[in-house]
Amino acid sequence: MDVVDTPTPELQPMSLGLYDLVHFALMAAGFALFAYLLYTWASREEVGRRYRPALYAGLCLAAVATVSYLVLFLKWDTGFTLTDGVYEPNAEARFTGSTRYPDWAVTVPLLTVELLAVCSLAGRRARNLRATTVTAAFLMILTGYFGAQVVADGRDRTALVVWGLVSTAFFGYLAVALIGAVRASLPHMGTEAAVSLRNATIVLLSSFGVYPLVYAIPVFADATPAWAATVQVAYSTADVIAKVGFGLLVHKVALLRTAEDVRAGEDTHPEPVWVSHVHESDGVLPELGRVSPAAAATLRGEHHHGEHHHDEHHHGEHRGHGATRTAPERT
Amino acid sequence: MDVVDTPTPELQPMSLGLYDLVHFALMAAGFALFAYLLYTWASREEVGRRYRPALYAGLCLAAVATVSYLVLFLKWDTGFTLTDGVYEPNAEARFTGSTRYPDWAVTVPLLTVELLAVCSLAGRRARNLRATTVTAAFLMILTGYFGAQVVADGRDRTALVVWGLVSTAFFGYLAVALIGAVRASLPHMGTEAAVSLRNATIVLLSSFGVYPLVYAIPVFADATPAWAATVQVAYSTADVIAKVGFGLLVHKVALLRTAEDVRAGEDTHPEPVWVSHVHESDGVLPELGRVSPAAAATLRGEHHHGEHHHDEHHHGEHRGHGATRTAPERT
Amino acid sequence: MDVVDTPTPELQPMSLGLYDLVHFALMAAGFALFAYLLYTWASREEVGRRYRPALYAGLCLAAVATVSYLVLFLKWDTGFTLTDGVYEPNAEARFTGSTRYPDWAVTVPLLTVELLAVCSLAGRRARNLRATTVTAAFLMILTGYFGAQVVADGRDRTALVVWGLVSTAFFGYLAVALIGAVRASLPHMGTEAAVSLRNATIVLLSSFGVYPLVYAIPVFADATPAWAATVQVAYSTADVIAKVGFGLLVHKVALLRTAEDVRAGEDTHPEPVWVSHVHESDGVLPELGRVSPAAAATLRGEHHHGEHHHDEHHHGEHRGHGATRTAPERT
Amino acid sequence: MDVVDTPTPELQPMSLGLYDLVHFALMAAGFALFAYLLYTWASREEVGRRYRPALYAGLCLAAVATVSYLVLFLKWDTGFTLTDGVYEPNAEARFTGSTRYPDWAVTVPLLTVELLAVCSLAGRRARNLRATTVTAAFLMILTGYFGAQVVADGRDRTALVVWGLVSTAFFGYLAVALIGAVRASLPHMGTEAAVSLRNATIVLLSSFGVYPLVYAIPVFADATPAWAATVQVAYSTADVIAKVGFGLLVHKVALLRTAEDVRAGEDTHPEPVWVSHVHESDGVLPELGRVSPAAAATLRGEHHHGEHHHDEHHHGEHRGHGATRTAPERT
Amino acid sequence: MDVVDTPTPELQPMSLGLYDLVHFALMAAGFALFAYLLYTWASREEVGRRYRPALYAGLCLAAVATVSYLVLFLKWDTGFTLTDGVYEPNAEARFTGSTRYPDWAVTVPLLTVELLAVCSLAGRRARNLRATTVTAAFLMILTGYFGAQVVADGRDRTALVVWGLVSTAFFGYLAVALIGAVRASLPHMGTEAAVSLRNATIVLLSSFGVYPLVYAIPVFADATPAWAATVQVAYSTADVIAKVGFGLLVHKVALLRTAEDVRAGEDTHPEPVWVSHVHESDGVLPELGRVSPAAAATLRGEHHHGEHHHDEHHHGEHRGHGATRTAPERT
């Protein structure tokens, strides 16, 4: 064991300026995730049924991340005591780092689900790829957590390196698998959707690169207050880019592909699709599958006169059912 | 009475690593249940009306379990005080064990409702089976709670064994009844749905096996911090598998059976059904039951010229009703 | 005044076992009410518009009761301090009893609304009966609260008896009025619905019997810890039966009556009705009231060739409106 | 300045009975507002689009009032400490009075919006009247707050009188303007709706009378504990009547006017309207504006045989698109 | 560095009257934002799909601002201790200022999105302008935060001036870009919508002017309690005007443009549009795209007699499917 003997990054005394900067970063990131959650929730039915699982994944991970930032904010808010112009950490401050891992353990697998939901793989192949990428993403976070938190409170350099390498191996698989799925899907959609899907993949995988970078620094350098603040700001920025930025691009792919399916007559969607004031497709009702014989007769005008009579009678009947009972009772 | 004199598992002092591990397990499981709750809520109308009770059961139990994990997390968070590098339990820590039982008392009965809602038993037979399995599931948890918590604070070996056996008897009935219902239902659905239903049943009943195992250990072994951490991690993992994993399989059965009913013309469902990018059925409108004589006349083109006139007149009339009043008032 | 000099039931020191039992009862009842709330909220549009007020009453009272149990749980959780293996009550413990009354003051009137909403009384007669039963239910609780809490902190036997009798008089009126309304309604619905409505009425009125029983005991017997625990368990059980059990029966009546109205052509409802896998009615669209002349012409095929032209032109026009502006701008 | 030297009403020591009575009033009023909020939210689409702003105003003000009562309850709960059988106020108790004003500053303007939304004024006249009544209502509360809270902590009799009179002047304008709008609207609706609208106006304006009454008392009389309790109970009762009672009457007007518009053919509404089991109008679909040439051809049976072929081909095509890709992949 | 040595505005001791005034302003502004959030959420589907992003932006920013005011209120509530009739600030009071910045960092960019969503720019041009204005708005807030909070705790006059000027430069770009977009859009809509859009732009940009004004004062004047209260009241008022007032105007533009598109046949929208009781457009169904051959045959009356037979048979079949199984089981 090669244990570092300085305090962990979470337990550095913070100057007013640095403390406020992290306060800003945590709150702004939490607000951005919360706004994205509400947007995805409110607009989820604008996307066709086929691609809607992408929005479900987006809203679920946004909700988890929002709650996670609430916990982080509360820990940051209560984890430091202002003493002589310096914020001194207390026992609660320990969790300003570790709280991010359970969040990522759920949200990173959901990010891969979100991406695959706008790709074109179908059936068993889609299910298998989803299962392996979800598993790899979960293990990537879990092994990172072992190195950064569980073994010797994250102060053992050897554990950091070993578990860091294991985690990176899972990331490697993830990158290869997702890029493969995206490449196979691009020919099945229009240019605009394909460009957005390619961008979304780049945003996701490159933002993932921030995490090991931040993770690796304590192996080589002592933690300082400025470093602790940088970690929080970097993680918060990366979370917003990887979740909100990526999510908006995926949302656009889902909208454009919905419109493509409707225009091609392959699917129905009851709302028109508009993207940035461009009309992409009309709203189309589901199939009219059944017509009652009575409605058909009215349409054909067969019992036209009789129908009027019947209709009134019918109205009389079904209102009368209530009316007989209720007529003398109404005010 | 054969009362154990060591502290209960909930009251062990925890090392940093073990404490953080449970912290991770409780938070990640809570996040997974929360994400599943939102997914089920958001997507509940994608399943046909016939099988939707399965989703209601799923979302209700997910909500209860999410709240339960919030309470557990808060009790874990406040139930230990960091003293000299060790987390010492206080009075709140007692509830890091007992809080799970009221959760299970509601969620385990709902799990049986969820499973039966995608089986094919109907009418009185369905109602009777639902009533007996819900009762058995509730009593299974209640009797377990008596042994593990109420009698002598769960430290009496005799009570643990006796109540444990009573609880197991209810589990036995549950297993037999559910397997019977599933077996009777498999022939009434397509292969893919049947495979998922069989898998869901296996996941549910085998994950139930984790609980008595964890329950039984204190009968034979002293509680240690590592054991206390293992209990929390095992329960959290089992809860996620039995609720989220099982729920996703049931969801798939419900989707596939909805599509089967629509394709067979036995039911209407206004949205298309897609499962993993495979188009399973078209969206079909409900029956068109009534047409107004005016709409029918327009369709037949009977009063075409007159209708134009009438239509304008009509428009004039009903806008005019407002317009007369409002025209001079508009900006 | 005949004031009891022992502590109130809420202020008894509790053993671990009894304390945990109440903890279980409050949490499990709260979870059951919460699950029922979510179920009713999620499924409220499955019931036809006519009977939907029953579900609104159900979800409103479930929400109030859920919040009330949250307050009760918090008061129970913080109202006792573990000292030498016994939970000693503090000032907060007073509210583990009194918090139930404001809950009942709102939820019991809503229970009568829920029942009447699936009966058949209509118009002024329905409004009058609703007004009087809501008032009687509110006064039944308010007068009970005066005796049990306001006068001499509920320790005055005379006040308990007098206000208890006043409260019982309101209960008497309530029982007579509701039974009358149910009896008048049974002939207007099918057998299955009628059986469920009768059962719902029995469940409601008999569960109401638990409350005066629990209320009356302090008149005759001293409060003991076991009695205090019994009160909490009995109230919690009665609340679940009177709200959730009753509510599920009313829900079933509402579903069956919706299907009866649709089958009789008296109402439209866009979703099919299924009860326990039995298909009770088809989904039926609202009346088609207006058709645009353009749509009618397309249907008649009148301007078929021209229409194609017109349609393209029209499409060209309205897409072009965007396209002219946006075509050079799209990626 | 004519400053009263007794403690403010909020800072009176309270006996158990009075404290519990206010506890009951705050909780029951909060529950009633919460239930009304949920009812309005859940049922908002039952009212036609034209009158729906009334429900939006109702649900917004109910939500604000519910949160306000939560804050009031928390301040009441923590603002008094039980010492020797008496609840002694602490610094938090100050806010058991002042918290109501920011609530009213938002909810009273919304009450006037709610009322005007079921009147018949339209266009610029409606907008102007809405703007002036909203402003007057806001200023009525703001000036009341200055007298009751800001100037000398509400203990200056002169300020109470002067600001009270200013506030009353705004109330006078409000009453005149609203009564005028209602009177002008009554002839434009049916008798039943008109009666309810008149009643709603009476309920609103007379319940407003409670507030100046309660406000004026400290000018003439010393505050006592009984008076402090009466203030809370009176405000809570008035809030429930002015918000929930008034809101239910407005809701009924909105339902009845929706049905009138549908029956007159002036508007479409997809759901039937039922009020107290009386069938007021049928559900009517929006206009059918566009039909695809393919659907029209199917309806005319033109390409019947070919269509079957085409239809299968079409089905084959669009399923095949998936099937070619997915057929070998499905389980 | 030119550091001010008086306490920051957030750390002034406050008299009862000033403290209560800010209490009122924070609560009333929070309530107004909360009500606007609920209104926008509840009514978001009343606006056509094309302009709905404006409502999404509005509800997201309202939600963030509501949460932000909750935090502000809690910090104000707990950040001062009543000592000898004066509210003395404690460490929590620092955040009664800084909490506003993370809110604005998310909400101000969303305000520009909201405005652009009812303009007429489309496609790439719309996306580019949205991207640059969102970035400028974010940087305007971030640079302001650096000057007001991060550098020397906001007490350095030089930093205030320098960062203030940088922030103002971003505001300048924002104003020019938004005015340009609005001007280009006005000719594409009707007069009433254009007037509201122009007003909305004026409200937004002029309310933005309040912030630098408040920001600049500490450069020239010492902070006093009255000044600290004025800052809070001014910010709260400006937030309500810039978010709620602006939002209601944008909402109106969105409604009127929806009606224009429907009347012009360019879009379908299933609900009628009413603005202040003026009927702006009818509800129009999406295109009827597919009709099942069976429904078409019923409509043509082709297999009328056979169909009756078939229909019963069909009904018998699909009910029978259940009925055979369930008939003997029903109660």
Paired residues of C82 in beta bridges = C87
Report the residue of chain B nearest A104, measured CA to CA: B28
Distance CA E170, CA E141 (A): 9
User: Any CB–CB contact under 8 A between B124 and chain E?
Assistant: yes
Chains C and D form CB pairs within 8 A to the count of 148
Report the residue of chain B nearest A93, measured CA to CA: B82
Q: Per residue in C192-213, pLDDT tens?
A: 999 999 999 999 999 888 887 7
Chains A and E form CB pairs within 8 A to the count of 148
**Would you state the pLDDT for residue B307?**
39
Asked whether the beta carbons of E214 and E235 are under 8 A apart, the reply is yes
* C-alpha distance from C158 to closest chain B C-alpha (Å): 37
Cβ-in-10-Å burial (0-12, 13-18, 19+) of B316 comes to exposed
Q: How many residues does chain D have?
A: 331
Residue at token pair 């006996």: D15
Q: Per residue in A38-92, pLDDT tens?
A: 999 999 999 999 999 999 999 999 999 999 999 999 999 999 999 988 999 998 8
Q: Is the pLDDT of residue D317 over 70?
A: no
Contacts of residues B261-264 at CB distance under 8 Å and 24 or more positions apart, as own/partner, are B261/B48, B261/B50, B262/B48, B264/E318
User: Any CB–CB contact under 8 A between B288 and chain E?
Assistant: yes
**Would you state the pLDDT for residue C197?**
98
Distance CA A60, CA B34 (A): 8
CB contact under 8 Å between D150 and E21, yes or no, is: yes
User: Any CB–CB contact under 8 A between A279 and chain E?
Assistant: yes
Which residue in B278, B321, B330 is closest to D124 by CB distance? B330
Which range, of A2-11, C45-54, E32-41, E242-251, averages the lowest pLDDT? Answer: A2-11
Residue from B221, B223, B138 nearest B174 by CA: B138
CB contact under 8 Å between C64 and D34, yes or no, is: yes
Paired residues of D88 in beta bridges = D81
Residue at token pair 């706008």: A118
- E interface mutation test: which of D50, D55, D113, D313 has the most E CBs within 10 A? D50
In the DSSP assignment, the letter for residue B51 is T
Asked whether the beta carbons of C191 and C39 are under 8 A apart, the reply is no
Q: Is the dihedral of CA E203, E209, E214, E217 positive or negative?
A: negative
Residue at token pair 């997702």: A178
pTM: 0.93
Residue C328 vs residues C313, C322, D192, E266: alpha-carbon distances, Å:
20, 11, 58, 21
Which range, of A269-283, B57-71, C91-105, C239-253, averages the lowest pLDDT? Answer: C91-105
Would you give the distance in Å from CA B102 to the centre of its chain? 15
Q: Which residues of A touch E307 (CB under 8 A)?
A: 293
**Would you state the pLDDT for residue D262?**
96
- Mapping DSSP to helix (H, G, I), strand (E, B) and coil, where does residue D194 land? helix
Which range, of A232-246, B220-234, D256-270, averages the lowest pLDDT? Answer: B220-234
Q: Is the dihedral of CA A147, A149, A150, A154 positive or negative?
A: positive
User: Any CB–CB contact under 8 A between D294 and chain E?
Assistant: yes
Helices and strands (H, E) in chain A, number of each type = 12, 5
**Would you state the pLDDT for residue B3?**
67
Query: Average per-residue pLDDT in chain B?
Result: 87
Which fold is adopted by the domain C8-281?
Rhopdopsin 7-helix transmembrane proteins (1.20.1070)
The alpha carbons of chain E give a radius of gyration, in whole angstroms, of: 28
Distance CA B181, CA B201 (A): 10
Average pLDDT over residues B132-140: 96
* C-alpha distance from A278 to closest chain E C-alpha (Å): 6
Cβ-in-10-Å burial (0-12, 13-18, 19+) of C331 comes to exposed
Residue from B72, B54, B66 nearest B246 by CA: B54
Q: Which residues of C touch A321 (CB under 8 A)?
A: 266
Using left for φ > 0, alpha for ψ between -120 and 50, and beta otherwise, residue D153 falls in left
* C-alpha distance from B16 to closest chain A C-alpha (Å): 7
**Would you state the pLDDT for residue B66?**
98
Paired residues of B14 in beta bridges = B87
Report the residue of chain A nearest D320, measured CA to CA: A266
Q: Per residue in A111-164, pLDDT tens?
A: 999 999 999 999 999 999 999 999 999 999 999 998 888 787 777 888 888 998
Residue from A285, A235, A238, A277 nearest A255 by CA: A277
User: Any CB–CB contact under 8 A between E291 and chain D?
Assistant: yes
List the pLDDT tens digit at each of the 331 positions of chain E: 566 666 777 888 999 999 999 999 999 999 999 999 999 999 999 999 999 999 999 999 999 999 999 999 999 999 999 998 899 999 889 898 888 999 999 999 999 999 999 999 999 999 999 999 999 999 999 999 988 887 877 778 888 889 989 999 999 999 999 999 999 999 999 999 999 999 999 999 998 888 877 777 766 777 789 888 998 999 999 999 999 999 999 999 999 999 999 999 999 999 999 999 999 999 999 999 899 999 999 888 876 443 333 333 333 333 333 333 333 333 3
CB contact under 8 Å between B266 and E321, yes or no, is: yes
Distance CA C305, CA C307 (A): 5
Query: Average per-residue pLDDT in chain D?
Result: 87
CB contact under 8 Å between D326 and A282, yes or no, is: no
Which range, of B185-189, B311-315, D168-172, averages the lowest pLDDT? Answer: B311-315
CB contact under 8 Å between D300 and C299, yes or no, is: yes
CB contact under 8 Å between C329 and E284, yes or no, is: no
**Would you state the pLDDT for residue E209?**
80
Higher local confidence (pLDDT), B329 or C158: C158
Q: H or E element: which one contains D174?
A: helix D157-185
Distance CA A259, CA D327 (A): 24
**Which positions ≥6 away from D6 have C-beta within 8 Å?**
D222, D223
**Which positions ≥6 away from E66 have C-beta within 8 Å?**
E30, E33, E34, E37
**Would you state the pLDDT for residue B303?**
59
Output b/e per residue, E244-280; b: 16+ Cβ within 10 A.
bbbbbbbbbbbbbbbbbbbeeebbbbbbbbbbbbbbb
Q: Per residue in D188-204, pLDDT tens?
A: 999 999 999 999 999 99
Distance CA C212, CA C166 (A): 12
* C-alpha distance from A104 to closest chain D C-alpha (Å): 31
Percent share of chain B, pLDDT over 90: 68
**Which positions ≥6 away from A56 have C-beta within 8 Å?**
A44, B38, B39, B42, B43
Of the spans D108-122, D301-315, E207-221, which averages the highest pLDDT? D108-122
Q: In the structure, what pLDDT confidence band is assigned to residue A6 with cuts at 50, 70 and 90?
A: low
Euclidean distance between the first and the last CA atom of chain A, given in angstroms as a whole number: 87
User: Any CB–CB contact under 8 A between C42 and chain E?
Assistant: no
Q: Is the dihedral of CA A10, A11, A12, A15 positive or negative?
A: positive
- Mapping DSSP to helix (H, G, I), strand (E, B) and coil, where does residue D82 land? strand
In a 13 Å sphere around the CA of C275, the CA atoms on its Cβ side amount to 25
Residue at token pair 């470093």: A227
Residue from A286, D307, A268 nearest E300 by CA: D307
Average pLDDT over residues D211-228: 79
Asked whether the beta carbons of A35 and E61 are under 8 A apart, the reply is yes
- B interface mutation test: which of E298, E329, E331 has the most B CBs within 10 A? E329
Q: Can you tell me the ipTM of this complex?
A: 0.91
Q: DSSP E strands: which ranges in A222-262? A: none
Q: Which residues of E touch C295 (CB under 8 A)?
A: 288
CB contact under 8 Å between B278 and D330, yes or no, is: yes
CB contact under 8 Å between D276 and C301, yes or no, is: no
Query: Average per-residue pLDDT in chain C?
Result: 87
Report the residue of chain A nearest C299, measured CA to CA: A299
Using left for φ > 0, alpha for ψ between -120 and 50, and beta otherwise, residue D207 falls in alpha
CB contact under 8 Å between C287 and B285, yes or no, is: no
Chains A and C form CB pairs within 8 A to the count of 38
Q: Is the dihedral of CA C33, C36, C42, C48 positive or negative?
A: negative
User: Any CB–CB contact under 8 A between D301 and chain E?
Assistant: yes
CB contact under 8 Å between C278 and E326, yes or no, is: yes
Of the spans B39-53, C148-162, E160-174, which averages the highest pLDDT? B39-53
In the DSSP assignment, the letter for residue D86 is E
Question: What are the boundaries of each domain within chain D?
Answer: 8-281
Q: Per residue in D237-255, pLDDT tens?
A: 999 999 999 999 999 999 9
Asked whether the beta carbons of B148 and B105 are under 8 A apart, the reply is no
How many other C-beta atoms lie within 10 A of the C-beta of residue D248? 16
CB contact under 8 Å between A268 and B278, yes or no, is: no
Paired residues of D87 in beta bridges = D14, D82
Distance CA B127, CA D249 (A): 40
**Would you state the pLDDT for residue C1?**
54
Q: Is the pLDDT of residue C220 over 50?
A: yes
Q: H or E element: which one contains C136?
A: helix C123-145
Residue A61: both structure tokens together: 């991970």
**Would you state the pLDDT for residue D216?**
75
Amino acid in position D265: G
Q: Per residue in E119-167, pLDDT tens?
A: 999 999 999 999 999 999 999 999 999 888 878 777 788 888 899 899 9
Which residue in A195, A292, A330 is closest to C123 by CB distance? A330
Q: Which residues of D touch A125 (CB under 8 A)?
A: 326, 329
**Would you state the pLDDT for residue A321?**
34
**Which positions ≥6 away from E248 have C-beta within 8 Å?**
E36
Q: In the structure, what pLDDT confidence band is assigned to residue D303 with cuts at 50, 70 and 90?
A: low
- D interface mutation test: which of E38, E69, E74 has the most D CBs within 10 A? E38
CB contact under 8 Å between A290 and E295, yes or no, is: yes
User: Any CB–CB contact under 8 A between A300 and chain C?
Assistant: no
Q: H or E element: which one contains C15?
A: strand C14-15
Asked whether the beta carbons of E185 and E197 are under 8 A apart, the reply is yes
Contacts of residues D4-7 at CB distance under 8 Å and 24 or more positions apart, as own/partner, are D4/D155, D4/D156, D4/D157, D4/D218, D4/D222, D5/D155, D6/D222, D6/D223, D7/D223
